[in-house]
A and B are shown apart, each in its own frame.
Chain A
Amino acid sequence: MTDKQEKLIDKKGIRGDGRKADELRSLKLEVGVLPNADGSAYIEHGKNKILVGVFGPREVHPKHLSKPDRMVIKCRYHMAPFSVPERKSPAPSRREVELSKVIRESLEPALFPELYPRTGIDVYVEVLQADGGTRCASITAAALAIADSGIPMRDLVVACAAGKVEDTVVLDLYDAEDKLGSADVPVAYMPNLNAVTLLQMDGILTPAELEQAVNMAMDGCKKIYAMQKEALKTKYMNLKDETKEEEESVE
């Protein structure tokens, strides 16, 4: 390490990890990865590696939490102790409690809870490796896992952050930019409905910069949305191929 902090953006506008200001990190999305869950998804968003499992609709425990007219949605965001440079205690931190809540609230607008009275679904998010933007990657994967479970949805929810690094508004911050940059704006979005279901911000921005960041994040969301749909299709294409092979082997 040199004494001077390395620049987060060079003169040509290239960021520390080689990206342009409005470029996403590489993404890998997989659906149906957990055999025991009713729905599941895995996301690699840059160096973030996150696994989501969905269970339900099923009976709610404890029972008094169930609602006579709708399904209750529970969500747990949890980071593995080895997911960050310094071991994280496995006990839920205040940050994790808050993120569990905002992730749940970003998914709820996509669901029809009145269709499944007296039941509940559990959305379990496990962050296996974190590198900035885990709440967004978690939402993107959780929406896929819910879709995979077969629960009807108004739209997929997709999330992406924008922020400000050295006076430039940039898309999809990684860990160093998140920590050293001057603002971070995570956004979750349902593209077909033009609905923002999560919006947070920390740092300092003028109202115009906030607007610019939200718009940039929504554009990022639209790109990831296409990949989400592709991931769902891929799962069913694979299923089709497998059944075909089985049929052929029977013959």
Chain B
Amino acid sequence: MSSLITKVRQKQIIALIEKGQRLDGRGLTDFREIKIEQGIIEKAEGSARVLLGKTEILVGTKVETGEPFPDTPNDGVMTVNAELVPLAAANFEPGPPDENSIELARIVDRGIRESKAVDSEKLCIESGKKVFVVFVDVYVLNHDGNLIDASALAAVAALINTKMPNYELKDGEVKIKQGYNQLPLRTQPITVTIVKIGNNLVVDPSVEEEQVIEARISIAINTEGNICAVQKGGSGYFTPQQILEASKIAQQKVADLRKILTW
């Protein structure tokens, strides 16, 4: 799209939002249609695909055995990585992760880690020597805005879907047996991002709307309704009142998303 058309379009988006309207007919705090599918990658221990409008995220989890960190000998390990796959958008390029994919991975990671969603003590095989390592890989397959909320939702859906291998310990060796157990989860964190366009708070921006946002705030909330992670982004600011309002919007929207996740 030429930059002239983009500029006209941007003005149109801002003007519409001033009136409480959006290009695709949604209200300011409406999400696009969400579809969640689980268990679509057979070779992964867990997987989920989330469609948020045209944004498409695939998350696969792998469970392997490895060593625990020296300071937490009884805890399993979880890591989150995010790939902005070059086929997902014209401006995504191959190469090592840039700051956007690192920030995305770390926001998704923080929601899961800080809510203590994965019961890491149950991932311990032999204290200080062997634990299960859960790799959560976020794959962005199509970028149409709001990658954070879609990725966080897909990651939790994939963790819910994750099976742990059955094992027995013989002379310090881990032997994988037949059958699987569910990955032990304590809570299900869900993240909602609120963006500021003009002086309005808007939810679930499309990729076009993301071009005109001044700032965003992502809030992760656990099953009990407590806040477990927050991240502000973007080169603008929020007033303290807007942060409180965003926190309220997040509570409502997380409740809506939770219904879709657990249906």
Contacts and interface: CB of A to CB of B under 8 A. Distances in A.
Interface of A: 94-95, 97-98, 100-102, 104-105, 108-109, 185, 190, 193-207, 210-211, 214-215, 218
B247 A102 contact: no
Interface in B89-118: 97, 99, 102-103, 105-106, 110, 113-115
Given A94-B106, A194-B240, 13 more contacts: A94-B97, A98-B99, A100-B99, A109-B237, A198-B232, A199-B230, A199-B238, A202-B228, A202-B229, A204-B114, A204-B226, A207-B226, A210-B230
Contacts of A105: 215, 232-235
B222 interface: yes
Contact of B232 (A100, A200, A206, A218): A200
A210 B228 CA distance: 10
Given A98-B103, A196-B232, A204-B222, A210 B227 contact: yes
B228 A203 contact: yes
List of 6 A-B pairs having minimum Cβ-Cβ separation, nearest first:
A201-B230, A108-B235, A195-B237, A199-B232, A202-B114, A109-B237
Given A109-B235, A199-B238, A211 B227 contact: no
Nearest to A107: B235
26 contacts: A94-B105, A94-B106, A98-B102, A98-B106, A101-B233, A102-B231, A104-B235, A108-B236, A190-B237, A193-B237, A195-B239, A196-B239, A197-B232, A199-B217, A200-B231, A202-B228, A204-B228, A205-B228, A206-B225, A206-B226, A207-B247, A207-B248, A210-B230, A211-B247, A215-B240, A218-B240
Interface in B210-255: 215, 217, 222, 225-240, 243-244, 247-248, 251
Nearest to A185: B230
Chain B contact residues (Cβ within 8 angstroms of A): what range?
20 to 34
A199 B244 CA distance: 12
B227 A206 contact: yes
Given A203-B228, A210-B227, A97 B102 contact: yes
A207 B250 CA distance: 10
Chain B, interface SS category: mixed
A97 B225 CA distance: 30
Nearest to B104: A98
B237 A197 contact: yes
A194 B239 contact: yes
A105 B73 CA distance: 37
A219 to B, nearest CB: 11
A225 B243 CA distance: 21
Contact of A207 (B99, B232, B239, B251): B251
Contact of A202 (B110, B215, B217): B110
A148 B105 CA distance: 35
Contacts of A207: 226-227, 247-248, 251
A230 B129 CA distance: 54
Contact of B240 (A196, A202, A204): A196
Contacts of A97: 99, 102-103
A206 B228 CA distance: 9
A46 B244 CA distance: 30
B238 A195 contact: yes
A4 B240 CA distance: 40
Contacts of A102: 103, 231-233
Contacts of A210: 227, 230, 247
B134 to A, nearest CB: 17
A201 B170 CA distance: 43
B87 to A, nearest CB: 24
Contacts of A194: 239-240
A202 B220 CA distance: 9
A218 B241 CA distance: 13
B135 to A, nearest CB: 15
Contacts of A203: 114, 228
